[in-house]
Structure 1
Amino acid sequence: MIALISAPTNLGLRPPQRGSVPGSDKAPEALREAGLFQRFMNEGAADAGVVLGGRYVDDDDTRADGQVRNQTALVDHARRLAARLTSVLDAGDVPLVIGGDCSVLLGIGVALARRGGTGLVHVDGHTDFRHPGNSDACASIAGEDLAAAVGLHWPAVGDIDGLGPYFDPGRVVHIGHRQDDEHSAEARGTLGLVISAAQAIERAPDDVTAATHAVAGTGYWLQIDVDVLDASIMPAVDSPDPGGLDASQLTALLARLAPGAIGASVTVFDPDLDPDGRYARLVTDIVVDGLSGLGLLRGRTPM
């Protein structure tokens, strides 16, 4: 059974403007209003509750060197999300985390590392591979989550409770970055497989899925950042970029990747940039249609 976990957090993002607060923590409830939770539950899914993030603080003037934004609150949220995921997985269910920003990958990684580790399929419009070894600008985990997940970040975020790296880099697949991503070459040399958005569009979804399974196996975690969509289709994210997938391409890809996953997460939608709710409805359609088969290769009966 799919178990929906709401993870409303914005702790990993930079402020949109000095002193302001990102809106991604509103995403789970905006998507609930758009029908995402009800549509899953109509087909047999369960609501596994909420894991609240802490208060966002624009701490640029007070943050110590060697720390990311909102670090204490972010690590606390990761531990609590990991505990919730553990209870869902122990019950034999398939978690679907609705974020929030993609700092949720830390809590997911902690939970899975405690269980012995899995592969990771990271579908994102950016590699999220900034880390202290390649940048002096480290501050926002939402642009650094994949690097942290494979052990390349400061220990406070990349080695929570001594569990890092949360994913073996050789079993990680990244899909969806744009051609000008500044860290794509390093990601390609570190991870098991890296496929750009242009390559994902050119290749058949079945081909991308076969290549993914060859690296990540089955039983991987599927992380989806909705900025993998082209900016003309999904502007309601903190860093929209041209050159991404369209809605039908992303839905088709997810529908093929979802059965091999043990769980999934959806992140970075910002309702503050969606005043009439049209993009919430689009995300809902993509997630419901693309992830309805989540976990099927692990023997779960259809929703």
Structure 2
Amino acid sequence: MIALVSAPSNLGLRPPLPTTVPGCAKAPEALRGAGLFARFAELGARDAGVVLPGRYADDPSPGRLRNQELIIEHARRLAGRITEVRAAGDVPLVIGGDCSLLVGAGLALRTAGRFGLAHLDGHTDFRHPGNSSACASLAGEDLAAAIGRHWPAIADIDGLGPYFRAADVAHAGCRDEDEALAEVDRTVGLTIRASEIVRDGAADHGRRIREHLDRAELDGYWLHLDVDILDPTVMPAVDSPDPGGINAAHLADLLAVLAPRAVGAQVAVFDPDLDPDGRYARLLVEILATGLGELGRAR
């Protein structure tokens, strides 16, 4: 069955304003209030508890991430919870939180074999020390860290990096103007822009991703979703809304193709502080219940 793990970490994001903290740590409970856990319970899912982060500190300095030790500690504990869920025969669905959660998922899977990654995100999240002097916030650098392109402290925790091989990654959803797009095109196994999904529809591109990742030499694949893949006219309640995204039907279709063969998934970057009346939480619940309801069922 699906096991929902709350991971309310905001440690990988920059502060939205001085002396404030990112609101995405509130996402699991906001989505619970909007009916997410109840909807999944109707589908037979269970609540697998919460993995709490440390207190946000905003302490970046040259050569290190903001909240670096806290992120590493949380990644280890999240990896432990994901491992426990999978050992019980269940499929983890991690409700975050920000994209730094990918490191915890990568740690868990790296100890279990060789897994692929479907990285659905409105940005490539590929800033790293080799292409930028502005590294500080892991939520914009998670894909680079996951394939070993970041500082060893975050990309090689416990000597387990890279958590995913670059060839075993499919990224979908970035905008045509993404500054790291050319490098990602050269590096990972498959890249699909949001504009291609809008032009062609989601189902065919979902099948391309699934075919790339559902290979005999892999033990399965993890599904990462940053909800800023959606156009801000659809989902403005995110940290970095950029025009040119996909719509709700596209995302639900993409998830529905990928979810049944995934070994688990995570949802990141919804910010309830930007959703005062809860309308976007309710929309996201509908997308996730439709798209992820069959998570792991075909494995």
- Give the TM-score band, short-chain normalised: over 0.9
Contact 1:19 1:58 in 2 (8 A): no
Contact 1:18 1:58 in 2 (8 A): no
Aligned residue identity for 2:17: Q
Gaps of 5+ in 1: 299-303
TM-score, scaled relative to structure 1: 0.96
Aligned residue identity for 1:279: Y
Q: How does 1:236-247 map to 2 (within 5 A)?
A: 236-247=237-248
- 1:87 equivalent in alignment to 2:88: no
Q: How does 1:104-143 map to 2 (within 5 A)?
A: 104-143=101-140
Aligned residue identity for 1:232: T
Cα deviation for residue 213 of structure 1 reads 2.4
What SS class does the counterpart of residue 201 from structure 1 fall into?
A: helix
Cα deviation for residue 292 of structure 1 reads 0.4
- 1:279 equivalent in alignment to 2:276: no
**The 10-residue stretch of structure 1 (217-226 or 82-91) with the greater mean CA deviation from structure 2:** 217-226
Contact 1:170 1:215 in 2 (8 A): no
1:234-274 CA deviation, whole Å, 9 max, x = no partner? 11001001110111111111111111101000000000001
In the alignment, the residues of structure 1 paired with residue 210 and residue 270 of structure 2 have an alpha-carbon distance, to the nearest angstrom, of 27
Gaps of 5+ in 2: none
What SS class does the counterpart of residue 149 from structure 2 fall into?
A: coil
In the alignment, the residues of structure 1 paired with residue 200 and residue 163 of structure 2 have an alpha-carbon distance, to the nearest angstrom, of 29
Cα deviation for residue 19 of structure 1 reads 1.9
1:186-232 CA deviation, whole Å, 9 max, x = no partner? 00100000000001222243321231123212621000000000011
Cα deviation for residue 75 of structure 1 reads 0.4
Q: How does 1:57-206 map to 2 (within 5 A)?
A: 57-59=57-59, 63-206=60-203
- 1:213 equivalent in alignment to 2:214: no
What SS class does the counterpart of residue 47 from structure 1 fall into?
A: strand
Contact 2:207 2:258 in 1 (8 A): no
User: Would you say how many aligned residue pairs link Structure 1 and Structure 2?
Assistant: 295
Q: How does 1:17-28 map to 2 (within 5 A)?
A: 17-28=17-28
Cα RMSD after superposing both structures: 0.9
What SS class does the counterpart of residue 296 from structure 1 fall into?
A: coil
What SS class does the counterpart of residue 17 from structure 1 fall into?
A: coil
Aligned residue identity for 2:234: I
Aligned residue identity for 1:83: G
Percent identity of paired positions between Structure 1 and Structure 2: 62
Contact 2:118 2:171 in 1 (8 A): yes
Aligned residue identity for 2:126: F
TM-score, scaled relative to structure 2: 0.97
In the alignment, the residues of structure 2 paired with residue 209 and residue 266 of structure 1 have an alpha-carbon distance, to the nearest angstrom, of 17
What SS class does the counterpart of residue 95 from structure 2 fall into?
A: strand
In the alignment, the residues of structure 2 paired with residue 150 and residue 58 of structure 1 have an alpha-carbon distance, to the nearest angstrom, of 25
1:66-108 CA deviation, whole Å, 9 max, x = no partner? 1001001010000000000000011111100000001000000
What SS class does the counterpart of residue 147 from structure 1 fall into?
A: helix
In the alignment, the residues of structure 1 paired with residue 83 and residue 97 of structure 2 have an alpha-carbon distance, to the nearest angstrom, of 19
* Alignment-derived partner of residue 301 in structure 1: none
In the alignment, the residues of structure 1 paired with residue 230 and residue 29 of structure 2 have an alpha-carbon distance, to the nearest angstrom, of 21
- 1:12 equivalent in alignment to 2:12: yes
Aligned residue identity for 1:275: P
Contact 2:64 2:136 in 1 (8 A): yes
